């Protein structure tokens, strides 16, 4: 076989290697540049997305308010401000149906597609290199405030500079690729031909002579590099071959000795292999024994875990049983307290009725006894309100009022007869608030009574009320929304509350008093929450306690309220007209009818909603319309006021319907106008309250 190397083959191989290397290097560098450029471009788009999302979040709440209030001019100014941001090419706002409300800058479609609105319900959408304009990016998001959707907003950004950067990267990649694949290979080829290929050809020719048996031949290479060293090595090798050829003849004689040594080495290798096999068998047996031990220990561990799980389940069941017993004891304590309070109230009512009967027989004036009886009845009503307020369904019946006098009257009454004094510091222009007067009275009373109990040796309760404003992102001390509030602070100098008990004072049934029910502060906390307010406490043992109550300020018209004491002293207003009374209790229908008669009204009665609607329709047919209808909210087994009022309003849209119920905390009582009623009066009510609501409605 001819082993000689042709000159043209060597050059071809070298040129091929050069070209291939340059191509691979160009591809690697191009990939690096491409991915680097792509990463930079992606970063630019991420920065663009972040910028647009920040602009959206900064303006979302203002635009939401302007959409909700339909303030088109203000909305136009807000969009103009956004358009003024560098790079913003257009901004548009759509309503919650996807119809364009207003836009600035780039042309916007008049209506969003269903698919686009559906995708925006899940998250905001950022698009780069739009189909309609490759130099534009867009950011779209739903405008949503406090869980309510108000519309959509779309912002366009001019990304021409980003695309120019992309084109620059492409040009650099092409230029770099051309240089590496054309110019550099040509330069390398010329250099390699001069310094490598020609010297190698010279060396090749000398090797062919050596191959032909011409030993001791010399090659003349004057280059001072590796090829020159190869020439020197070749010359030395040629001399060595000549010497070795002479020595080889002598070496053949010692071949037999080397063969004998090789046989001896093979025998020793076999013996070593046998020893290694024995060691492997012993190791395998050790592995089997170890697996058996691990399996045995694993079984024992699983049995221990099962036993531990059974013990944990038994302990958890014992804890649940203990909690159930504690709840039963707390319920029994609550029932005892309620029974005690109702028995006291009933004792007063029954005693006053007996006195009234005896004094009436003697011809004495019984008005004072009846007033005391009436006060006891309202105490019973307040007790039921307290229980309803603590329950989940206890919605307050609110009205807008100034609470300055309510605070003072409540504190003075709660501390009457005790050795504790009081001091007021109330802002003269205190904001009005939308509250349930009786429930706020109850909150302040509970806290003031506790303050008095904390100072058995006497002291002073300091009560302050002031206006405060909670700003956005600055309400770290309270979980309240930004806005205007009043803060009522009640401070004592008593024994204080320990850190251990401070975390539990608002829990139901928690008390440190031997005779306490643990409902006072729990009820206060429930009431303030239902008023969308907040209550907290700060205390140190032996240093006193301060409670802070936050209530949202109201912009509604102040409702002038009448207390039970002043109402009893005022003479009810007279009126005219015919009133329809709907109630399932015959005695209530009779009593209310008599009260209306004393007020100058005529009356008719109905047992349920069906009968009330029938009588109202008959009266309209005879053109003897009722001036108003007083309806009980709940009729067992029949149509109640909530359903009946809708039927009557269908008959007569101008009907005046007043809701009356013993469930004073029912949501209908708290927001009666939303259900179609014109007025509300909670049972039990005084004739003055009935007269006032009739005058207000009629």
pLDDT tens string 405-418: 989 988 887 787 78
CA distance 49 to 541: 54
Q: Do 56 and 147 have their domain in common?
A: yes
The yes-or-no verdict on residue 223 having pLDDT over 80 is: no
- Reported as a single tens digit per residue, the pLDDT across 336-362 is 555 555 655 665 666 667 666 666 666
Q: Do 327 and 469 have their domain in common?
A: no
Strands 399-401 and 433-435: antiparallel
Domain-embedded: residue 239: no
The yes-or-no verdict on residue 78 having pLDDT over 90 is: no
Buried b (16+ CB within 10 A) or exposed e, 68-105: eeeeeeebbebbebbbeeeebbbbbbbeeebebbbbbb
Which CATH number characterizes residue 608's domain? 3.40.50.2300
- Reported as a single tens digit per residue, the pLDDT across 370-413 is 776 676 676 666 666 555 544 444 456 788 889 999 899 888 87
Range among 80-89, 461-470, 559-568, 668-677 with highest mean pLDDT value: 461-470
Domain-embedded: residue 208: no
Q: Do 372 and 342 have their domain in common?
A: yes
Domain-embedded: residue 313: yes
Q: Do 332 and 267 have their domain in common?
A: yes
Q: Do 586 and 508 have their domain in common?
A: no
| pLDDT of 253 | 65
| pLDDT of 264 | 79
Token output for 254: 């010692």
What's the whole-number mean pLDDT along residues 560-564?
51
| pLDDT of 594 | 87
Mean pLDDT of the chain: 78
Q: Do 623 and 548 have their domain in common?
A: no
Domain-embedded: residue 215: no
What's the whole-number mean pLDDT along residues 524-540?
89
pLDDT band at 369 (very low <50, low <70, confident <90, very high): low
Write the CB contacts of 553 (distance below 8 Å, at least 6 apart in sequence): 431, 432, 433, 467, 483, 484, 485, 486
Residue that is last in its domain, among 113, 131, 165: 165
The yes-or-no verdict on residue 615 having pLDDT over 80 is: yes
Check: CB of residue 14 under 8 Å from CB of residue 196. Answer: yes
Task: Report the SS3 class of residue 91.
Answer: strand
pLDDT band at 334 (very low <50, low <70, confident <90, very high): very low
Lowest mean per-residue pLDDT among 367-371, 453-457, 655-659 = 367-371
Q: Do 535 and 615 have their domain in common?
A: no
The yes-or-no verdict on residue 488 having pLDDT over 90 is: yes
Strands 544-552 and 483-492: antiparallel
| pLDDT of 338 | 57
Domain-embedded: residue 633: yes
| pLDDT of 407 | 92
What's the whole-number mean pLDDT along residues 151-164?
79
Q: Do 65 and 43 have their domain in common?
A: yes
What's the whole-number mean pLDDT along residues 205-219?
73
Q: Do 304 and 342 have their domain in common?
A: yes
- Reported as a single tens digit per residue, the pLDDT across 663-678 is 766 778 878 899 999 9
Buried b (16+ CB within 10 A) or exposed e, 569-608: eeebeebebebbbbbbeeebbeebbebbeebebebbbbbb
CA distance 147 to 235: 92
| pLDDT of 6 | 47
CA distance 583 to 682: 13
Q: Do 82 and 14 have their domain in common?
A: yes
Strands 483-492 and 433-435: unpaired
Domain interval for residue 330: 247-384
DSSP 596: H
Which CATH number characterizes residue 546's domain? 3.30.565.10
Please provide residue 158's backbone torsions phi and psi, each rounded to the nearest 5 degrees.
-80, 105
Residue 94, strand partner residues: 100, 152
Residue that is last in its domain, among 354, 384, 414: 384
Domain-embedded: residue 657: yes
**Matching residue, tokens 């409540």:** 410
CA distance 527 to 389: 7
Which CATH number characterizes residue 118's domain? 3.30.450.20
Domain-embedded: residue 131: yes
pLDDT band at 318 (very low <50, low <70, confident <90, very high): low
First to last CA, the chain: 127
Residue that is last in its domain, among 140, 165, 190: 165
CA distance 433 to 452: 27
CA distance 16 to 10: 10
Q: Do 617 and 690 have their domain in common?
A: yes
Q: Based on the structure, what is the number of domains in the chain?
A: 4
Other C-beta atoms within 10 Å of 415: how many? 19
Q: Cα dihedral angle (111, 115, 121, 123), rounded to 10 degrees? A: -110
Residues in the chain, overall count: 698
Domain-embedded: residue 104: yes
Q: Of all residues in the chain, what percent carry a pLDDT higher than 90?
A: 18
Q: Do 450 and 320 have their domain in common?
A: no
pLDDT band at 475 (very low <50, low <70, confident <90, very high): low
CA distance 225 to 349: 126
The yes-or-no verdict on residue 474 having pLDDT over 60 is: no
679-682 sheet: strands from edge to edge:
602-606, 578-582, 628-632, 657-661, 679-682
């Amino acid at each position: 076989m001819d082993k000689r190397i042709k000159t043209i083959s060597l050059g071809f191989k070298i040129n091929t290697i050069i070209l291939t290397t340059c191509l691979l290097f160009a591809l690697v560098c191009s990939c690096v540049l491409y991915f680097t450029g792509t990463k930079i471009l992606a970063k630019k788009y991420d920065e663009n997305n972040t910028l647009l999302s920040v602009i959206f979040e900064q303006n979302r709440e203002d635009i939401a308010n302007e959409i909700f209030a339909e303030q088109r001019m203000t909305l136009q100014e807000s969009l103009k401000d956004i358009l003024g941001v560098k790079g913003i090419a257009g901004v548009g706002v759509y309503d919650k149906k996807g119809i364009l409300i207003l836009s600035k800058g780039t042309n916007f479609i008049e209506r969003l597609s269903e698919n686009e609105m559906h995708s925006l319900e899940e998250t905001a959408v950022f698009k780069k290199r739009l189909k309609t304009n490759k130099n534009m990016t867009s950011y779209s998001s739903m405008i949503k405030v406090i869980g309510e959707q108000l519309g959509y907003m779309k912002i366009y950004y001019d990304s021409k500079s980003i695309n120019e950067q992309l084109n620059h990267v492409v040009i650099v990649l092409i230029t770099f690729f051309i240089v590496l694949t054309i110019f550099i290979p040509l330069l390398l080829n010329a250099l390699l031909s001069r310094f490598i290929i020609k010297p190698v050809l010279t060396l090749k020719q000398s090797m062919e002579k050596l191959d032909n048996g011409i030993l001791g031949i010399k090659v003349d290479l004057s280059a001072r590099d590796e090829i020159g060293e190869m020439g020197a090595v070749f010359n030395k090798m040629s001399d060595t071959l000549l010497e070795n050829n002479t020595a080889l003849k002598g070496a053949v004689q010692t071949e037999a000795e080397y063969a004998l040594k090789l046989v001896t080495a093979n025998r020793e290798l076999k013996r070593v292999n046998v020893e290694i096999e024995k060691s492997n068998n012993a190791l395998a047996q050790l592995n089997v024994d170890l697996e058996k031990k691990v399996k045995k220990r694993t079984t024992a561990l699983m049995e221990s875990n099962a036993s531990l799980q059974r013990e944990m389940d038994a302990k958890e069941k014992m804890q649940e049983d203990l909690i159930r017993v504690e709840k039963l004891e707390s319920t029994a304590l609550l029932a005892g307290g309620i029974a005690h309070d109702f028995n006291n109230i009933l004792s007063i009512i029954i005693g006053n009725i007996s006195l009234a009967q005896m004094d009436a027989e003697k011809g004495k004036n019984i008005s004072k006894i009846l007033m005391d009886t009436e006060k006891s009845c309202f105490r019973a009503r307040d007790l039921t309100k307290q229980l309803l307020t603590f329950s989940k369904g206890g919605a307050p019946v609110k009205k807008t009022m100034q609470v300055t006098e309510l605070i003072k009257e409540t504190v003075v009454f709660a501390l009457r007869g005790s050795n504790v004094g009081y001091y007021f510091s109330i802002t003269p222009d205190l904001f009005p608030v939308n509250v349930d007067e009786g429930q706020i009275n109850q909150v302040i009373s509970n806290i003031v009574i506790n303050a008095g109990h904390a100072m058995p040796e006497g002291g002073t309760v300091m009560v302050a009320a002031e206006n405060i404003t909670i700003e956005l992102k600055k309400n770290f001390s309270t979980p309240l929304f930004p806005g205007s509030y009043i803060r009522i602070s009640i401070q004592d100098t008593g024994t204080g509350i320990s850190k251990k008990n401070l975390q539990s004072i608002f829990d139901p049934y928690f008390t440190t008093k031997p005779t306490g029910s643990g409902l006072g502060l729990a009820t206060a906390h429930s009431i303030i929450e239902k008023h969308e307010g907040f209550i907290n406490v700060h205390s140190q043992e032996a240093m006193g306690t301060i409670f802070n109550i936050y209530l949202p300020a109201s912009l509604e018209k102040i409702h002038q309220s009448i207390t039970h004491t002043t109402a009893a002293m005022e003479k009810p207003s007279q009126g005219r007209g015919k009133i329809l009374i709907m109630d399932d209790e015959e005695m209530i229908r009779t009593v209310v009818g008599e009260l209306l008669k004393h007020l100058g009204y005529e009356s008719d009665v109905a047992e349920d909603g069906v009968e009330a609607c029938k009588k109202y329709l008959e009266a309209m047919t005879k053109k003897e319309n009722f001036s108003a209808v007083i309806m009980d909210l709940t009729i067992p087994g029949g149509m109640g006021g909530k359903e009946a009022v809708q039927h009557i309003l269908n008959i007569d849209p101008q009907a005046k319907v007043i809701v009356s119920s013993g469930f004073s905390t029912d949501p209908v009582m708290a927001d009666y106008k939303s259900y179609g009623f014109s007025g509300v009066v909670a049972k039990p009510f005084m004739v003055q309250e009935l007269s006032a609501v009739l005058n207000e409605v009629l």
